Amino acid sequence: MKYDLTIMGLGYIGLPMAALSASAGMNVLGVDIREDVVNTVNAGKIHIEEPGLAEIVAPAVSDGKLRADVKPAASEIFMIAVPTPVDHRTHQPDMAMVRSAASMIAAVVEAGNLVILQSTSPVGSTENSVKAVIEKIRPELAGKIEYVYCPERAIPGKTIHEMIHNDRAVGGLTLNATRRGIAFYKKQVKGKLLETDAATAEMVKLVENASRDVQIAFANELSLACDAMGLNVWDVIKLANHHPRVNILQPGPGVGGHCIAVDPWFIIDAAPEQTPLMRTARAVNDGKPEWVVSKVKEAAKGIKNPVICLLGLAYKENVDDFRESPSVTVADKLIESGLGDVLIVEPFMKDSDRYRLVPLGEGLNRADIVVHLTAHDTFKAIAPELLEGKKIIDTRGSLPQPINKRENNAAAG
The set of catalytic residues is: 205, 259
What is the C-alpha separation between 388 and 401, in angstroms, rounded? 10
Among left, alpha and beta (phi > 0; psi -120 to 50; other), residue 368 is alpha
Which long-range CB contacts under 8 A does 89-94 form with residues at least 24 apart? 91/265, 91/268, 91/269, 91/282, 92/265, 92/269, 93/121, 93/122, 93/265, 93/266, 93/269
Query: Cα 351 vs. chain centroid, distance in angstroms?
Result: 21
For CA atoms 300, 305, 310, 315, give the dihedral sign.
positive
159: closest CA among 259, 278, 67?
259
Contacts of 100 (CB under 8 A, 6+ apart): 82
Angstrom distances, CA of residue 116 to CA of 128, 335, 350: 13, 42, 35
Taking the C-alpha atoms of residue 76 and residue 1, their distance in angstroms, rounded to an integer, is: 11
Alpha helices in 73-131 (DSSP H): 96-106, 125
Closest listed residue to residue 262, CA positions, set 103, 97, 99, 119:
119
